[in-house]
Amino acid sequence: MARILIVNPNSSRACSAGISDAIAPFRFAGGPVLEVVTLDEGPPAIYTWRDWHAVAEPMCRLVEASDADAFVIACASDPGIEAVRTATACPVFGIFRSAIAAAAARAERFGVIALVDSSKARHRTALRAMGLEDRLAGEVAMNVSMDTLLEPDAARSALVAAGRELAALGAETIVLGCTGMAHHRAAVARAVGLPVIEPTAAAAVLAIAAVAP
């Protein structure tokens, strides 16, 4: 049976639990094993470019030591993705790129809700690499900690407000720009009235397709 390793590059086990919940619908009889692991060497969250670069080598070592058939980097800044792809011949998916691919397939213009303002530069780098920067209607940052985001209700009203702001800017679908937002997806979609894409789920779909017999 094929195995897909989903790597949370921050050290938050609560975040890893949220990632596992987000991909639960894609665990099915006869399907590939979806295993979520936490990078213990990682920071509490990927807030800065320094955090982004710091996790690249530990993830490379983790991937090199694994016998999985595909890998998912479960952070919406896709940290170290180019380096990790050199560490294995197997497919490596970044969840931000996966979510943007899904958004571009679904609508002409999309919006992104970022964890912090400093995430925006990393997202723009990925969008330019994909040739999709001009389809970004806007990006709104939450500027909260990962712990706040992971609470059931603390950030929900702010997420809904961010979604409505993006809709007013012309977004036709919304990408959640952090794995810590996963448990808010349905509530934001209902409140804003737009499709909301959870990045780890988007990457899981691509990874399952990649390992299909």
Map out the domains of the chain with their CATH numbers: 3-94+201-211 (3.40.50.1860), 96-199 (3.40.50.1860)
> Are 167 and 141 within 8 A, CB to CB?
no
Cα 14 → chain centroid: 15
The amino acid sitting at 169 is L
Q: Quick one: pLDDT at residue 213?
A: 83
Cβ atoms of 35 and 62 closer than 8 Å: no
Q: Does residue 153 contact residue 176 with C-beta atoms inside 8 Å?
A: no
Strand partners, 197: 175
Please report the pLDDT score of residue 197 as a whole number: 97
H runs (alpha helix) in 35-181:
49-54, 56-64, 81-86, 95-106, 119-130, 146-150, 156-168
- Output the pLDDT for position 42: 95
Answer whether 0.85 is exceeded by the pTM: yes
Average pLDDT over the chain, rounded to an integer: 94
Looking at residue 193, its pLDDT comes to 97
Over residues 86-112, the pLDDT tens digits come to 999 999 999 999 999 999 999 999 999
Q: In a 3-state reduction of DSSP, which class is residue 91?
A: coil
Write down the H helix ranges in 169-198: 185-192
Residuewise pLDDT in 10s, the chain (213 residues) = 899 999 999 999 989 998 999 999 999 999 999 999 999 999 998 999 999 999 999 999 999 999 999 999 999 999 999 999 999 999 999 999 999 999 999 999 999 999 999 999 999 999 999 999 999 999 999 998 888 888 878 889 999 999 999 999 999 999 999 988 988 999 999 999 999 999 999 999 999 999 998
DSSP-assigned beta bridge partners for residue 136: 110
pLDDT for position 105: 96
Sheet harboring 3-8: ordered strands across? 33-38, 3-8, 70-73, 92-94
153-158 long-range contacts (CB < 8 A, ≥24 apart) are 155/181, 155/184, 156/184, 156/187, 156/188
What span, in angstroms and rounded, lies between the C-alpha atoms of 172 and 153?
A: 25
Q: Can you give the pLDDT at residue 151? A: 80
